[in-house]
Structure 1
Amino acid sequence: MSIDRVPVSGGSIAVQIHTGTTEPVLVVHGVSSQRKLWGWLRAEAPHLTLVAPDLRGRGDSVDVTGPSALAQHADDLKAVVDTLGQGAVHVCGMSMGAFVAVEFAARYPSAVKSLVLVDGGVPVAPPAGLTRENVEAVFGDKIARTQQHWNAVEDYVDFLVSTSLPLLDSSDPLLRTYAEHDLADGSVRLSTAAVVADATDVFFGDSRFGELTMPIRFLHAQWSVGADSEPMYSPQVIEGLDLTSVRPMMGLDHAGTIMTSAGASAVGAMIDDALRE
């Protein structure tokens, strides 16, 4: 099982497969991320077979043309699953990728065996102060990286840690690998238009979460960005959930849910639960 590019509307998206001993698990990264996000999961759970696309507007799929939206990503994922020839797969999404996973499962329920959602996917109110009109400004730290040239990957890593990844270790080799995949000739391969469109869709689009009938497992971080910050999901939202499994990730912020060994280990265990069902 090996695919490199999958034709989609506007071009083709890049897909990397990490072969393990399990059936394929489709893994979907976040709004300003790319497929190397799953390096930590690969390190902690090498037995998992991971199918990891770069979503349109990111990484090796940055040049795919056309508008970006959760529904478009869902259609792109369906093309990936069809190319795999699996019929249906388990899906794990992190952050915006979890919202994409929900949309995918709602549009193509016969293609999804179960969902593992990591700090995303479950409907959530927009953060205080976020409006449709100021999404680009609020996501400025993610967009800022695209507007400058990076002469050294170390400088880029330091920028990431100082802005959106404050609890990560800048010397982590997996973080360096992740950062290297972002860059091409010193430029970040990330579409500003895609980030703004997808973030707008996450917070102001119509969620189809309530339509889902497959098993759903949900992991949520204690904090959002950095220690002691307000989490993305409040205790009130968590208490109201009736899902297959809900697990807190204490001592971790949003990025740490997958970009640390502790977070990746917990996600891997949850995927194992889904595979055993």
Structure 2
Amino acid sequence: MSADDFSQHVEVRRPGGRCVHAWRRPGSTRPVLGIHGLSSTSRLWSWTLAAAPDVDLVAADLSGRGSSTPRPDASTLAGHVADQLAVLDALGLETVDVLGMSLGGFIAVQLAVTAPERVRSLTLLDGGPPTVRRPTSREQLEAAFADRTARLGTDWPDLASYVDVVVAHTAPLLDPADPHLATCLAHDLERGRDGGRVRLDGRALVDDAADVFLTDTAADALRRLSVPTQLLHAEWSVGAGSPPAYTDDEVAAVVAASDGLVTAELLPGHDHAGVVMTDSGAAASVRALRRSLAG
């Protein structure tokens, strides 16, 4: 995929002079809003675009990521929801099916309870329900995401050197030679494939993680959920054999408490990143999305 596959680009002006950049690849399905993860960008959906060439996909860089301006105040799920609604308004989209990965899953649930009339369904990829095992302080969060924030002070000489570090320290099951990975990670950098600093606001990253892990925001939103929801969850978190974000028992409890609103599927042999950032993970994600679109 190249940036040209997102044939439409909009700059959405936000309060305080901020700007959120969003893209759309028109297709024959109902519009799908893709919301990326904590340290990613809209180009997370490179694999999805390739696996589902018919899907009408909209994706924005969350504030403080890629082309979108950081917030001057604390970054929160509610703030991202307001930005996503502004993107939908700018594109004239009344209702969408939402595809959210990791942090994007938490934003998707919050969006669905904030504006249920705008959301037809949710497809959540290893994120959305609150996790049982989680950090309990901001200091722990800063330590947990040190691999991401440590990259921010480097002027990367080229894309290859950045890809190598991301795979080695954050996503060990990804293929560094994957062309979709190159497309995805090039959008992180100031000069794209020619390198540069990572376009990620470290404070926004920790702020968002704090809203997910240190508050009851996610649990409160899940209790208020009223739209059909699928959860695709990975067998591992980071690398083969690592503890998952969600155990089978935790997922079963979420499903049981939803009165039939939430269904879930385990994706074996994949870790958190691989749910989207591999051909096989993207294929499974697209299958789940198509079930949502057909519902």
TM-score range, shorter chain: over 0.9
Q: CA deviation at 1:105?
A: 1.1
Question: How do 1:228-247 residues align onto structure 2 when only pairs under 5 Å count?
Answer: 228-242=241-255, 243-247=261-265
Task: Quote the residue 2:206 is aligned against.
Answer: 196
Q: CA deviation at 1:234?
A: 1.2
Tell me the alpha carbon deviations over residues 94-126 of structure 1, each in whole angstroms, 9 at most, x when there is no partner: 001100111111111111111110000011124
Question: How do 1:98-247 residues align onto structure 2 when only pairs under 5 Å count?
Answer: 98-127=105-134, 130-185=136-191, 186-206=196-216, 207=218, 208-242=221-255, 243-247=261-265
Task: Quote the residue 1:82 is aligned against.
Answer: 89
Tell me the alpha carbon deviations over residues 22-51 of structure 1, each in whole angstroms, 9 at most, x when there is no partner: 121000000100000000001111111110
Q: CA deviation at 1:130?
A: 4.6
Between the two proteins, the alignment pairs up a number of residues equal to 276
Tell me the alpha carbon deviations over residues 178-210 of structure 1, each in whole angstroms, 9 at most, x when there is no partner: 111100141000000100000111111222111
Q: Letter of the aligned partner of 2:77 in structure 1?
A: L
Task: Quote the residue 1:68 is aligned against.
Answer: 75
Question: Structure 2: how far apart are the matches of 1:66 and 1:49?
Answer: 33
Question: Structure 2: how far apart are the matches of 1:4 and 1:81?
Answer: 11
Moved over 4 A (4+): none
Among 20, 24, 28, the residue aligned to 1:21: 28
Same amino acid, percent of matched pairs: 42
Q: Does 1:51 align with 2:58?
A: yes
Q: Which runs of 5+ in 2 are unaligned?
A: 1-6, 256-260
Contact 1:22-1:49 at 8 Å conserved across structures: yes
Question: Structure 1: how far apart are the matches of 2:15 and 2:82?
Answer: 9
Contact 1:28-1:52 at 8 Å conserved across structures: yes
Q: Does 1:35 align with 2:38?
A: no
SS of equivalent residue, structure 2 residue 281: helix
Q: CA deviation at 1:65?
A: 3.8
Q: 1:176 to 1:227 in 2, by over 3 A?
A: same
Q: Letter of the aligned partner of 1:217 in structure 2?
A: Q
Task: Quote the residue 2:258 is aligned against.
Answer: none
Question: Structure 1: how far apart are the matches of 2:238 and 2:13?
Answer: 35
Q: Letter of the aligned partner of 1:154 in structure 2?
A: A
SS of equivalent residue, structure 2 residue 254: coil
Question: Structure 1: how far apart are the matches of 2:81 and 2:159?
Answer: 32
- For normalisation by structure 2, the TM-score amounts to 0.90
Contact 2:138-2:206 at 8 Å conserved across structures: no
Q: Letter of the aligned partner of 2:226 in structure 1?
A: T
Question: Structure 2: how far apart are the matches of 1:66 and 1:79?
Answer: 18
Q: Which runs of 5+ in 1 are unaligned?
A: none
Q: Does 1:275 align with 2:293?
A: yes
Q: Letter of the aligned partner of 1:184 in structure 2?
A: E
Question: Structure 1: how far apart are the matches of 2:114 and 2:273?
Answer: 27
Tell me the alpha carbon deviations over residues 51-77 of structure 1, each in whole angstroms, 9 at most, x when there is no partner: 010000000004454331101000101
Q: CA deviation at 1:133?
A: 3.1
Contact 1:106-1:212 at 8 Å conserved across structures: yes
Q: CA deviation at 1:244?
A: 3.9
Question: Structure 1: how far apart are the matches of 2:215 and 2:170?
Answer: 24
Tell me the alpha carbon deviations over residues 218-261 of structure 1, each in whole angstroms, 9 at most, x when there is no partner: 10000000000000001210121324421110100000000001
Q: CA deviation at 1:3?
A: 4.0
SS of equivalent residue, structure 1 residue 27: strand
- For normalisation by structure 1, the TM-score amounts to 0.96
Task: Quote the residue 2:3 is aligned against.
Answer: none
